[in-house]
Chain A
Amino acid sequence: MVPVQCYFVLSALLFFIGVYGFVTRRNLIAMLISIELVLNAVDINFAAFNRLLFPGLNEGFFMTLFSIGVSAAESAVAIAIILNVYRKFKSDTVDAISNLKH
């Protein structure tokens, strides 16, 4: 069996790659994609915890399941917002949405 530390390291790496992508990219959709990476890392973490450390229980499994569902919904709403932003600011970079800038 794969030792549990490997899953943790993998999920941590994926998480911070996602963070790096979020901070670096200017395109809105690219930022969203990075967020998806983060979410997936978290899902892996939950699943590994549940399977390898608490085998009799199911909480982690269902957490992951619902997390997938919620991510899907959140992506839909985020895309809708991005469409609106695109219509208003005519741009798909995050620099365009700077109305709150002083």
Chain B
Amino acid sequence: MANIIMFCILAVVILGSAVMCVTTKRIMRAATFMLFVLFGVAGLYFLLDYTYLGAAQISVYAGGVTMIYIFAIQLVSKRTLQGMVEKIKCSRAIGAALLSVVGLATVAFVFLKNEFMCRACEVVDAEVPIRTIGHALVGSEKYQYVLPFEFISIFLLACIIGALVVSRKVEEE
């Protein structure tokens, strides 16, 4: 029972912030609402007993990514910070809304029609132990994730270096 109430609150927070995020005219507000969405999603993870995932979500996403966006906004949108707003074209909005509704209907239909819903079962309300996660992350047997782990570390390094290279100031010749 408590879970359902929590879920509803989180759902309202997430969806409301998302809608506000995409419809607001000011970019700074959009970033703030995104932050709320991220917190909400982290809450969902906690609700699902994925504490580690929730922690990762808060630290990486809500912390890191949002900071990147804030900085980028500062560097790029001088005008908008001074209050100038973005106009949204009406026809485009209607088209997009239409697309979204149709897509939503399709996806929902696919989800709900599917038979694997029947397999949903009662789950023990206990979190996944961190020990299991740790072993899986650096283990090298089947179904263990040392390879993606190492890969992603290099991948992150590559992205950092790439971002640095792409965004450095080139001397005028």
Q: What is A's interface to B at a CB cutoff of 8 Å?
A: 1-10, 12-21, 23-30, 32-34, 36-37, 40, 43-44, 47-48, 51-53, 55, 57-59, 61-62, 64-66, 68-77, 79-84, 86, 92-93
Tell which of A18, A47, A70 has the most Cβ of chain B within 10 Å. Answer: A47
Binary interface profile of B, 61-81, with partner A (CB < 8 Å = 1, else 0)? 100110011011101110010
Residues of A within 8 A of B4 (CB): 2
Tell which of A14, A18, A30, A74 has the most Cβ of chain B within 10 Å. Answer: A30
In angstroms, Cα B86 to Cα A68, docked, is: 30
Q: A2-B4, A33-B34, A37-B21 are in contact. List 20 more A-B contacts (CB 8 A).
A: A2-B7, A14-B15, A18-B18, A19-B103, A24-B89, A26-B88, A28-B76, A29-B27, A30-B30, A40-B61, A43-B57, A48-B48, A62-B137, A68-B56, A71-B65, A72-B64, A76-B159, A79-B163, A83-B72, A92-B76
Residues of B within 8 A of A28 (CB): 76
Nearest to B111 among chain A residues (CB) is A8
In angstroms, Cα B112 to Cα A15, docked, is: 16
B contacts with A, residue count (CB < 8 A): 84
CB-defined A-B contacts under 8 Å, sample of 29: A2-B47, A3-B120, A5-B111, A9-B108, A14-B37, A16-B104, A18-B22, A19-B100, A26-B87, A26-B88, A29-B76, A29-B77, A36-B61, A37-B22, A37-B34, A40-B37, A40-B38, A43-B41, A47-B50, A61-B133, A68-B57, A69-B155, A72-B60, A72-B65, A72-B156, A76-B159, A80-B162, A81-B167, A83-B166
Residues of B within 8 A of A6 (CB): 7, 11
